Amino acid sequence: MAKKTTTKSKPEVAAKRATKSAEKPTAVAKPLPKPVPAPAPVELKPPKPALKAKRVVKKAAPIRPAFTQEDVALRAYFISEKRRSNGLPGDEHQDWLEAERQIKAEFTKKKTTKKP
């Protein structure tokens, strides 16, 4: 059988270990990396001339009549009352159309007479 060794270190072993560690080279200083060349200067292009703004033509809003449905309804009512009192034939649809025609005619007369 083999002889048992003890874990206690002997002075000779400690000395050998010390010399081995002294023989190992210490960290060698690495050479500095080569300097990176500066990037080439970027040539600036002259700014492009500003585009002329396109002229936006808005479509004319639809012309709204100067009267409302309530105006037409009131006029149609009076037309129907006059028609019934005279005993003339007709219905509310014809009265409505007649009221619209009359009001439009009055509106155009007012508009044309305002001009000097």
- Residue 103 CB partners (closer than 8 Å, separation 6+): 65, 67, 71, 72, 75
C-beta of residue 107 within 8 angstroms of C-beta of residue 64: no
Q: What is the pTM of this model?
A: 0.41
Phi, psi torsion values for 66, nearest 5 degrees: -85, 15
Please state, in angstroms and rounded to a whole number, the distance separating the CA atoms of residues 51 and 57.
Answer: 18
> Tens digits of per-residue pLDDT, 17-46?
656 555 555 666 677 777 777 777 777 777
What residue spans define the domains of the chain? 65-82+93-116
pLDDT beyond 90 at 82: yes
> In this structure, are residues 77 and 41 in contact, taking their beta carbons and an 8 Å threshold?
no
